[in-house]
């Protein structure tokens, strides 16, 4: 029974970590999209290029 509890706790911890990782990734993507939109509006090509490259890295 103890081994099952340890396994359950490990799986629960892994699920929590995966959920947190997904939330952080979504937050980063949302912030990048917002910053990219701002760079487009202001016509800042260098910032736009840098941010889109950073965004591409998140999808790899």
pLDDT digit string, tens, across residues 1-60: 588 888 999 999 999 999 999 999 999 999 999 999 999 999 999 999 999 999 999 998
Residues of the domain holding 31: 25-60
Question: Is 7 a domain residue?
Answer: no
Helix H or strand E encompassing 22: helix 2-42
On whether residue 17 sits in a domain, the answer given is no
Domain count, the chain: 1
39 occurs within a structural domain: yes
Token pair for residue 38? 């701002």
Q: b vs e for 10-46, b when ≥16 Cβ sit within 10 Å of the residue's Cβ?
A: eeeeeeeeeeeeeeeeeeeeeebeebbeebeeeeeee
pLDDT value of residue 60: 85
- The vertex-17 CA angle with 29 and 7, nearest 5°, equals 155
Neighbour tally for 54: CB within 10 Å: 13
4 within domain boundaries = no
Identify whether 11 is part of a domain. no
Does residue 37 lie within any of the structural domains?
yes
């Amino acid at each position: 029974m103890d081994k099952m509890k340890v396994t359950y706790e490990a799986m629960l911890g892994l699920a929590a970590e995966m959920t947190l990782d997904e939330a952080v990734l979504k937050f980063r993507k949302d912030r990048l999209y917002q910053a990219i939109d701002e760079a487009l509006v202001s016509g800042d090509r260098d910032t736009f290029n840098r941010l889109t490259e950073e965004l591409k890295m998140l999808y790899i």
